[in-house]
Structure 1
Amino acid sequence: MRQCFTLLIALLCLPLQAAQLTLDLGNGSRPWQSAELLKHPLVQDIQIDNDVSYKKTMHYRAVPLAALLQGVRADDHLQAVALDGFAAEMPAAPLLKDGPARAWLAIEDPAKPWPPLAKGKTSAGPFYLVWTDPQAGRISPEQWPFQVASIRRLATVAERFPAMRPAPGLAADDPINQGFAVFQKNCLACHRLNAAGDAQFGPDLNLPHNPTEYFQADYLRRYIRDPQSLRQWPQAKMPGFTETVINDSELDALLAYLRHMVTRKP
């Protein structure tokens, strides 16, 4: 027993192992080891104020994400997939900009691990997409994926998942189409719709029932703004979306899209 305990203590004291990030940008798969990225010529120390995941100021060793996105164009579409199934759908343009809102890939050093996200949880590592000055680009919390395992260049959401598309013939500026855009930016990382999507994190938002079918409109708005104000439980994972993330007109459009999709169940 004593020998087993000694072995356990020794194992717990070992440093974290190096991790791998896979980039699949349409020109072949490129694996990056954390050790490689920590020695990247553009790696630097950055400070993130009010970090989305840690809710405090954090300091990271990070590489400008644009430096890793070789061959990616501004009109491309990327998806960052996390270890837990979270799949952030992101247009490439904001990720390629060098400011004022700038995307960085933060790399967890196995010798200097980051703190856990909460009691009993792991850290945001080994790779975490963070932003400096995110307000300047209206960056959503869903565009801060942590525990990232891969980043892929893909066709757009509408091309890949036609079951999510609104009815054809609607004007581009129709609130329903605008709501579809809001849905892609803020909801699709966790949720599927009509069994379509890559996320494995949250429930389908149209099957078997759409939230507009069982929530009164005012309560659904309240739930989106502050989920814990309606349903409180320690394991809740859905964040609230404040007016700075989804403004009132965008929320109206999102609800218009969801109501519309009730009529387009497969």
Structure 2
Amino acid sequence: MRRSLALLCVLLSLPLQAAQLTLELGNASRQWQTAELLQHPLAQDLRIDNDVSYKKTMHYRAVPLAALLKGVQPSDHLQAVALDGFAAEMPAEPLLKSGPARAWIAVEDPAAPWPALGPDKPGAGPFYLVWTNPEAGKISPEQWPFQVATIRRLAPVAERFPALLPAPQLAAGDPVNRGFALFQKNCLACHRLNGAGDAQFGPDLNLPYNPTEYFQPAFLRRLIRDPQSLRQWPQAKMPAFTENVLSDGELDDLLAYLAHMATRKP
């Protein structure tokens, strides 16, 4: 036991090692080392107020993400995969814009590591997708992936995972289809549904049971708005989806999609 504690102390005292960000944007992949990104000609010091992950003002050395997405088109679909299995599904268009909301890759300097996200939690490094002026783009908490290891271009979610699709006879503007779009943006980074999805972080939201089947509607809404108000534990990671991120009407649409999918289990 003493040896294990001593080894842990030694490991914690070691300096942070440089890391590698992998971009898979086509037929070839590109690896960016920490030092390369810190010295990138477009890198700059950035202040992020109300950082989604740290819940306070943070300062980073960061590179505009668009500068790294060579060959990516606004119509493309990207996925950011984190070290812990979080897989953020993101349309490329917002990531390529220079404003008003702008995406950046914050790079952790091994000589000045970022703080832990909480007790017994890691930091957000080595790479963290952050936003300036996120309110202008209605950027959700799930579009702030931290501990990013890989960013890749993929086919859209609907093509990759047909088990997520609502009934085909529904009109494009049906609340269920609107909710499906919101599910991709806000939920699919952590959760699978009908076994479909790349995330390995949270539970499946339809198998064996859909949350609309076991939560009273008011409590399900409360869970989404403020997860810690219903159940609390130190390792909880689900963020709160406030009205600034998900309006009441959008929450209605998301719940319509979930309730609909409860009738479409494999």
User: In structure 2, the residue corresponding to 1:151 is in which secondary structure?
Assistant: strand
Query: Which residue in 1 is equivalent to 2:252?
Result: 252
CA drift of 1:190 comes to: 0.4
CA drift of 1:230 comes to: 1.6
Percent identity, please. Answer: 79
Counterpart amino acid of 1:254? L
Query: Which residue in 2 is equivalent to 1:23?
Result: 23
Query: Which residue in 2 is equivalent to 1:75?
Result: 75
CA drift of 1:136 comes to: 0.5
CA drift of 1:7 comes to: 8.9
CA drift of 1:122 comes to: 1.6
Counterpart amino acid of 1:95? L
Query: Which residue in 2 is equivalent to 1:202?
Result: 202
Whether 2:168 is the aligned partner of 1:174: answer no
Counterpart amino acid of 1:166? P
Q: Which stretch shifts more, 238-247 or 156-165?
A: 238-247
CA drift of 1:10 comes to: 6.7
Q: Which runs of 5+ in 1 are unaligned?
A: none
- Give the alignment's Cα RMSD to 1 decimal: 1.8
CA separation of 1:189 and 1:7: change in aligned 2, threshold 3 A: closer
Whether 2:92 is the aligned partner of 1:92: answer yes
1:26-37 pair list within 5 angstroms: 26-37=26-37
User: In structure 2, the residue corresponding to 1:231 is in which secondary structure?
Assistant: coil
Query: Which residue in 2 is equivalent to 1:44?
Result: 44
Q: Which runs of 5+ in 2 are unaligned?
A: none
CA drift of 1:125 comes to: 0.2
Counterpart amino acid of 1:207? L
Query: Which residue in 2 is equivalent to 1:110?
Result: 110
> d(CA) in 1 for partners of 2:232 and 2:9?
37
Q: Which stretch shifts more, 65-74 or 119-128?
A: 119-128
Query: Which residue in 1 is equivalent to 2:231?
Result: 231
Q: Which stretch shifts more, 149-158 or 226-235?
A: 226-235
Whether 2:186 is the aligned partner of 1:186: answer yes
Counterpart amino acid of 2:110? P
User: In structure 2, the residue corresponding to 1:21 is in which secondary structure?
Assistant: strand
Residue deviations 1:204-232, cap 9 Å, x none?
Answer: 00000000011111111111111122222
> d(CA) in 2 for partners of 1:6 and 1:27?
46
> d(CA) in 2 for partners of 1:94 and 1:126?
23
Query: Which residue in 2 is equivalent to 1:135?
Result: 135
CA separation of 1:265 and 1:8: change in aligned 2, threshold 3 A: closer
